Each structure stands twice: as C-alpha cells, then as structure tokens.
C-alpha cells in the first residue's frame, strides 16, 4: 500500500526582509509538521515599517490572524489594497501573487499557509468540484470568529515544536481547509453523513494507532487502511469512539505510560520517550490534563 508523497515547503527562518529605519524589531518563528506550515510574525515596537518582500512559495494562500490593530498596504499583481483593521481580524492573501507589503504600524500576526494543491485534495476527498479561489479579491480581511481560535490552539507549540504530533497537525489542516473552503470558497460539500466505523475498521484503526504510539501516524494512512476517504474516516472514528483520532492517540499513550509506571522501573523521562511524547514536560502536561494529577503524584498513589 503506497502512501502519497507531499513536497516539503521550506519556511525561512526570517520570512520577511524589512528595509526599515529606526529602532524596529522583527521576530519570526515557524512551525512545520506534516502538511502544517505556520509562521508567527512580531514586527516593530517603536515605529512604522517600509516595503517588505514576500518569499515566492508554491501556489499558496496565506491566512493570517491579526493579534493587534494594524494599518497596512499590500500590492498583489499590481493592484493596491489598503487596510486598517482592529485586533482579531483575519486576512486572506494569495501569497504567490504578492508584489510587496507595506506596514504602517507595528504588527503581530499568526500566519497559516494553505496551498491550492491541498485545497484541490480536500475537494477530491469529498468528491466535489475543486476550489482554488478564496473570496473575490486576492487580498481581503474579515472579522472571522473561528480562525483566531484555531490559530491560538497551535500557538503554544511554537515554544515546543516537538510536542506537536503528526496526527494532530494533519487533523488541524483538514479542519482548517474544510472551514475556509466552505466559508470563503463556496465548497459544495455533498459528503454523505456516515455512521461509525465497521467493527473491522475500528479494530484496524485502533491497532495501527497502538502500533505507532511512539512514532505517530498520519491521518491519511489510517483512512487508507480502513478503505475510507480522510473526511469520512475522521467523522466515522469520532462516531465510534466518541473522540477524534488524535485524542484517542493521546489517551492510549497515557494508558501505556501508566502501565510502565506501575512496573516501577523506568524513569519518567524514559516513559516519555517510549510512549511517544516529545519530552518529560510534554508527557507531564498531557498526563495532568487527562488525569488531574502529575505523573509523579499518580505513581506515588499506586
């Protein structure tokens, strides 16, 4: 069974090149896992910005949450777009067509990359016409409520990128793609609402997750083994188990950690590695969130 290969997108350490004057600061952090590409841009504390050249990435939309009020000018294909938006608004930009961006105020944004190739894949998965265009213009801003919440869920992983699991990153991108394409691309979602997985599909999915507790597994691979499309699998798995695939993976990792801790021989650091957590801190946070006590406290009780 052959898995599809996806091209790697190189997110530069500094994605924007500012020719700014004065005591301005620029901090750019990136997060890359499977299909997920996220960039946090924190620019300027003491002044305004000048023209910034965007990197020429693949045919991609940039979906950015503005975390502070901002005044900016963007040129796409020779057309100028002037915007003044409050904090919390979301901007949509066809990145591959950008000529320049001019920031007239400091800016702090969380940027998510949505390639058109992935947009076509989502439509293909749903067996509906492809969506390759968002909105009427290549650059626009909206007061969206869902996208900022989605972006904030990922933001803590910028401090600990290794804690971001592949299955969660894939699930996030499918959720983002479906939401954006439905609300801004006119996606004709005719996906049938299935019930849960069959008994053999549920068994295979759980066994695969169990076998990959340490290494993780892609959402597409789980769907492929169950003979389903990705969107169908995610819906059916939650109907059968009551939780999304990623949540099930975390629960099983914690259950395995408990088994190892009951034996009493392995250190918490060793348990973390064997169960697929990024490090002991990641293990402790996940364990505490699911059980209400730290691993060390739980171990003392058994």
pLDDT per residue over 225-247, tens digit each?
Answer: 998 889 889 999 999 999 999 99
What are the start-end ranges of the E strands in 116-241?
139-142
CA-CA distance, 129 to 123, in Å (whole number)? 6
Distance of CA 284 to the CA centre of its chain: 22
pLDDT surpasses 70 at 282: yes
When pLDDT is cut at 50, 70 and 90, the band that residue 9 belongs to is very low
Predicted confidence at residue 98, as pLDDT, reads 86
> Spelled out in words, what is the top-level CATH class assigned to the domain 248-301?
mainly alpha
Torsions phi, psi of 212, nearest 5?
Answer: -120, 30
pLDDT surpasses 90 at 132: no
Predicted confidence at residue 24, as pLDDT, reads 61
- The sheet with strand 26-33 has its strands ordered as 26-33, 36-43, 107-115, 60-66, 90-94, 139-142
CA-CA distance, 134 to 183, in Å (whole number)? 9
| pLDDT tens readout for residues 89-102 | 999 999 888 888 88
Handedness of CA 217, 219, 221, 223 (dihedral sign): positive
Predicted confidence at residue 61, as pLDDT, reads 95
Distance of CA 253 to the CA centre of its chain: 21
Predicted confidence at residue 26, as pLDDT, reads 75
Structure token digits, residue 2 = 């052959």
Helix 230-241 to helix 116-126 angle (10° resolution) is: 60
When pLDDT is cut at 50, 70 and 90, the band that residue 57 belongs to is low
| pLDDT tens readout for residues 171-215 | 999 999 999 999 999 988 666 656 889 899 999 999 999 999 988
Q: Kindly report which listed range (37-41, 131-135, 262-266) carries the lowest average pLDDT score.
A: 262-266
pTM over cut 0.75: yes
Topology, domain 17-184: Jelly Rolls (2.60.120)
207 three-state secondary structure: helix
């Amino acid at each position: 069974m052959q898995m599809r290969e996806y091209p790697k997108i190189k997110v530069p350490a500094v994605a924007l090149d500012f020719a700014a004057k004065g005591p301005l600061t620029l901090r750019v952090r990136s997060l890359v896992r499977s299909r997920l590409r996220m960039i946090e841009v924190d620019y300027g504390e003491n002044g305004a910005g000048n023209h910034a050249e965007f990197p020429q990435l693949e045919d991609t939309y940039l979906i950015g949450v503005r975390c502070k009020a901002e005044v900016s000018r963007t040129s796409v294909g020779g057309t100028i777009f002037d915007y003044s938006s409050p904090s919390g608004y979301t901007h949509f930009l066809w990145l591959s067509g950008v000529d320049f961006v001019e920031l007239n105020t400091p800016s702090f944004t969380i940027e998510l990359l949505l390639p058109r190739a992935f947009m076509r894949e989502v439509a293909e998965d749903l067996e509906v016409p492809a969506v390759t265009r968002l909105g009427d213009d290549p650059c626009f801003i909206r007061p969206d409520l869902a996208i900022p919440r989605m972006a904030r869920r990922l933001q803590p992983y910028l401090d600990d990128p290794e804690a971001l699991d592949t299955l969660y990153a894939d699930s996030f991108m499918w959720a983002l793609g479906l939401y954006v394409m439905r609300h801004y691309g006119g996606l004709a979602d005719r996906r049938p609402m299935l019930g849960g997985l069959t008994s053999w599909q549920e068994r295979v999915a759980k066994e695969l997750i169990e076998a990959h507790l340490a290494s993780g597994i892609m959402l597409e691979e789980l769907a492929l083994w169950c003979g389903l499309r990705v969107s169908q699998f995610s819906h059916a798995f939650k109907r059968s188990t009551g939780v999304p695939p990623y949540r099930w993976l975390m629960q099983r990792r914690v259950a395995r950690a408990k088994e190892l801790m009951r034996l009493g021989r392995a250190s918490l650091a060793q348990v973390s590695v064997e169960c697929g957590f990024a490090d002991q801190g990641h293990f402790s946070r996940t364990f505490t969130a699911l059980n209400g006590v730290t691993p060390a406290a739980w171990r003392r009780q058994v």
